[in-house]
Amino acid sequence: MSATILIIEDEPAIQELLCLNLRHAGYAVQQAQNCQEALALIQQALPDLILLDWMLPDQPGVRLARQLRGAARTRDIPLIMLTARSAEQDKVDGLEAGADDYLTKPFSLRELQARIKSLLRRRAPQLTHDLIEVGGLTLDPGTRQVSGGGIALPMGPTEFRLLHFLMTHARRVYSRTQLLDQIWGDHVFVEERTVDVHIRRLRKALSPAALDHLIQTVRGAGYCFSMARIE
C-alpha cells in the first residue's frame, strides 16, 4: 500500500521538485498551494503524511498545523514542516504547533525521504514495506505474501490490508469504526458489519496454519492481533 503524501507549498518549482521526487520513490502525491486548497483535499480523503510549508499566501503553516492537531479527524496525520526559518525559536514554535519533524530549506531530497520513512515507520508502520514476523506469522508487504509454519496463506487484498494493519499495531484494540477508517478510508461509507465479514475471511485464511486465534475479538470494544488472550 503506497502512502499518500500531501505537499502544501506555494513555490511552484519547489512543489514540482518534491512531487517528482516522491512519486519516483513510490509515493502517491497530492498538491496544494495554500491552506484552503489543502483543507479541501483533506476533506475529501485523509493523506498519510503532510509536508507543510511555513510561509503560505493565505495563512501561516503553523496555524494550519494547530488546526489539524486540534481536530479529532486529522490530529494523528504525520506532519513535517518545511521552512526557510532556521532560528531555534522557530523550530520550537513549529514543533509546538504539532509538527512531528522540521526541515530547514534548502534541504537534501535524500534527507527528506529518510525522514519521511522514519516518520511513517514510527507513526504509520502499516504504510512501510518492512517485513513483519509476529507469532509465527510472516507478512511481506513488498510481495504481498503471507505465510505461517511454512505454509503459504493466500488472502484477498482487503484481508491483507487488515492483517497488515493489525500486525503493525499488535495488542492494540480497534473498534469497527476505527478499522473502517484505517483500511477503507474515512471518506468511504460502508456498514460497520463489513468489518466482521472480513475478519471472518481473514481468520479462515489463517486457519490452515492454525493461526486464526491471533485475530482476537474483544467484547464490546473491537478486534486486535495478539498472541496472548486480551480480555
Q: CATH 1.10.10.10 occupies which residues in the chain?
A: 132-225
Average pLDDT value over all residues in the chain: 89
| pLDDT > 70 in the chain, percent | 97
Averaged pLDDT, 136-151: 92
Which CATH superfamily hosts domain 4-127?
Response regulator (3.40.50.2300)
* pLDDT recorded at residue 88: 74
Average pLDDT of span 220-231: 82
Which tens digit of pLDDT belongs to each residue from 158-177?
999 999 999 988 889 999 98
Global pTM value: 0.69
How far apart are the C-alpha atoms of 225 and 212, rounded to whole Å? 10
Residue extent(s) of CATH 3.40.50.2300 domains in the chain:
4-127
Q: Is 138 exposed, middle or buried (0-12, 13-18, 19+ CB in 10 A)?
A: middle
In sequence order, what are the residues at sequence separation of 6 or more whose Cβ sits closer than 8 angstroms to the Cβ of residue 185?
45, 46
pLDDT band at 184 (very low <50, low <70, confident <90, very high): confident
Mean pLDDT over 183-193 rounds to 77
Are the CB atoms for 113 and 93 separated by under 8 Å?
no
Query: 132-225: what CATH class?
Result: mainly alpha
Residue-level pLDDT at 147: 96
In this predicted structure, which of 10-14, 57-61, 87-91, 146-150 has the lowest mean pLDDT?
Answer: 87-91
